[in-house]
Amino acid sequence: MAGGKVMLTEGIFSLAAAVNVASSGICLSGSGHATILKMASGNNVNTISNTASVTDIVLENFAIDGSTSGGSSSLGNGIGINDATRVAIRHFYVHEAYRTGIEVLNATDVKITGNLIDASGRTQAAPNIGFQQCTNIVVANNICKNGADEGIDCNGATEGLKNSRVTIVGNVIDNATSEGVDSTGLHDTVLIMGNSIFSCADSGIKPGPEHHVIGNMIEDCAVGIDMSSGGDNSVVSNEVRGSTAQGILSNGVDRNLISNNHVLNSTSHGIDVVNSDYNTITGNEVMNNDQGQTGQDGIALRGSSVKNTVTGNNCSDDQGTPTQTYGIRERDTADNNLITGNVVQDNQTAGIIVVGSSTIVRTNPGSTVDDLIADPGASGAIPATHTGHVPLVSASGAETRTLADAAVAGLTLDMYYKTESGTSIAVTAASPINQAGNTIMTFSDVGEHIRLTSIEDGADFEWRVVANDGVALS
């Protein structure tokens, strides 16, 4: 086919061979979805493809029938373009393609817009739309339904397959048997925005590193947004509802911004952070999760997750019978996280629970553990890194604790005898706590209390007594 415009009328065109876009400057245009291309049975080729490098290609206004009706079908993709520049594929109806509905490889300046792709991967699992090694590609306003793999797949598993400057916007993806959008792997600058994704058997969106996932609606997928293939993502202003696992997952990846999302009615955790560090989780509404009633939470910090900031979220449960176990829960060996300014009301068990001795919990309405520093138990070391209160509990006999010098000046530490099952608790500070040179504070009766503040003493930050009710000093 030489350069120029080719128009086809309405009708069914039975093809013995692929339509080959053999030269540049081609516009192949049908008369809408009543212009139907259908391959002869058993041809292992794409219905439309190119066999040489081409530029300035427009393919538009066709239907491609890959079904077995009428005793014929292709064994290839609906459209397969490889090695091209300035390509537009628009307003196609591709249904029941044997493999991928629309596939573009090794191309620059590509627009795939306004297409309806239904039931791709009829026999061999394949996405509705797939592309690799593309630069400046826009996939917009398509409808992808009933795919036997991903709705949109741009997986760049290796450096040679990565895409650059990708925009996936305004698409509707329904009932994919894998991810709605799979963009894992190595890519440069990917924007996934304003898509509506429903009922995918795997994740709604599975981004690789350094993606912008903004303003998408994701309902009834396994995981709403699954960040387990790369960090440094911005996940902002998405609506994630009814996930059959987690709403948003950050698993083994770091430095993600998870902000202003609505995460509701997940079967498991609303936002699940597993072995992930330095994430900022802020301004999200995370409500009524753990619909599976298996002890899951609004926001979970699990595994060895450290140095995450969880601030300004609403992690409450307003159902008649709450299902969300905790608004925010720290588990396993998670520690040194900052949890401030969150609303955590009316959850099933409590607002917040933490396990890390260096985690800071402060000013969270609905929390009963704000500024709590857990008693480390007999012979344990009381953390000296942040302001808080330590309810001391003895288990047996006379017990001891230690208190290191403060991490900085200006901290306040309240220690009080809460529960007495032993006899006494002696806390030994690393440096004197008053001008008399005392270092040992002995608690003998429930209710005894001492307040310390940290000051600079030369090059050290030492504790000083500012209030004492009944604690013996020596």
| CATH numbers and ranges of domains, the chain | 1-199 (2.160.20.10), 203-372 (2.160.20.10), 380-473 (2.60.120)
- The answer to whether residue 427 scores a pLDDT higher than 70 is yes
**What is the rounded distance in angstroms from the CA atom of residue 331 to the CA atom of residue 337?**
12
Distance of alpha carbon 311 from alpha carbon 284, whole angstroms: 9
Taking the alpha carbons of 339, 340, 342, 345 in that order, is the dihedral positive or negative?
Answer: positive
371: left (phi over 0), alpha (psi -120 to 50) or beta: left
Per residue in 40-77, pLDDT (tens digit) is 766 678 899 998 999 999 999 999 998 876 555 567 89
Phi then psi dihedrals of residue 275, to 5 deg: 50, 40
Q: Which long-range contacts (CB under 8 A, 24 or more apart) does 438-445 make?
A: 438/473, 438/474, 439/474, 440/473, 440/474, 441/415, 441/471, 441/472, 441/473, 442/471, 442/472, 442/473, 442/474, 443/392, 443/415, 443/416, 443/417, 443/471, 444/417, 444/470, 444/472, 445/417, 445/420, 445/470
Q: Which residues contact 321 (CB under 8 A, 6 or more apart)?
A: none
Range name among 22-31, 117-126, 227-236, 293-302 with the lowest pLDDT average: 117-126
pLDDT, residue 157, reads: 65
CA atoms within 13 A on the CB side of 24: 8
Mean per-residue pLDDT, 272-294: 97
Q: Check whether 1 has a pLDDT greater than 90.
A: no
CA gap 203, 177 in Å, rounded: 10
Mean pLDDT of the chain: 94
Across the range 338-344, mean pLDDT stands at 98
Question: Reduced to 3 states, what is the DSSP secondary structure of residue 164?
Answer: strand
Minimal CA–CA distance to 446: which of 467, 466, 464, 422? 422
Between 40 and 153, the higher pLDDT residue: 153
Contacts 24+ apart (CB under 8 A), 122-126: 122/66, 122/67, 122/73, 122/96, 122/97, 122/98, 122/148, 123/98, 124/98, 124/99, 124/148, 125/149, 125/177, 125/178, 126/77, 126/97, 126/99, 126/100, 126/101
Residues 106-144 pLDDT 10s: 999 999 999 999 998 877 788 999 999 999 999 999 999
Residue 165 is predicted with a pLDDT of: 95
Q: Which of 100, 33, 104, 29 lies closest to 66, judged by CA?
A: 100
Q: What SS3 class is residue 149?
A: coil
C-alpha count within 13 angstroms, C-beta hemisphere, residue 117: 39
More confident residue, 41 or 445: 445
pLDDT at 355: 94
What pLDDT score does 98 carry?
A: 87
The residue ranking higher by pLDDT, 185 or 259, is 259
Q: What is the reported pLDDT for 215?
A: 98
Structure tokens at 385: 């890194």
Q: What angle do CA 63, 79, 186 make, to 5 degrees?
A: 135
H/E element holding 176? none
Q: What is the pLDDT confidence band of residue 148, given thresholds at 50, 70 and 90? A: confident
Residue in this structure with the two tokens 């599976």, named with its chain if needed: 292
The pLDDT value given to residue 61: 97
* pLDDT > 90 in the chain, percent: 87
How would you class 199 by CB atoms within 10 Å of its CB: exposed for 0-12, middle for 13-18, buried for 19 or more?
middle
pLDDT digits (tens, 9 = 90+) for 93-102: 999 988 899 9
pLDDT for the residue numbered 70: 56
Output DSSP code: residue 448.
Answer: -
Q: Check residue 72 and give its pLDDT.
A: 53
Q: Which residues pair with 415 in a beta bridge?
A: 390, 450
- Whether residue 2 is predicted with pLDDT greater than 80 in this model: the reply is no
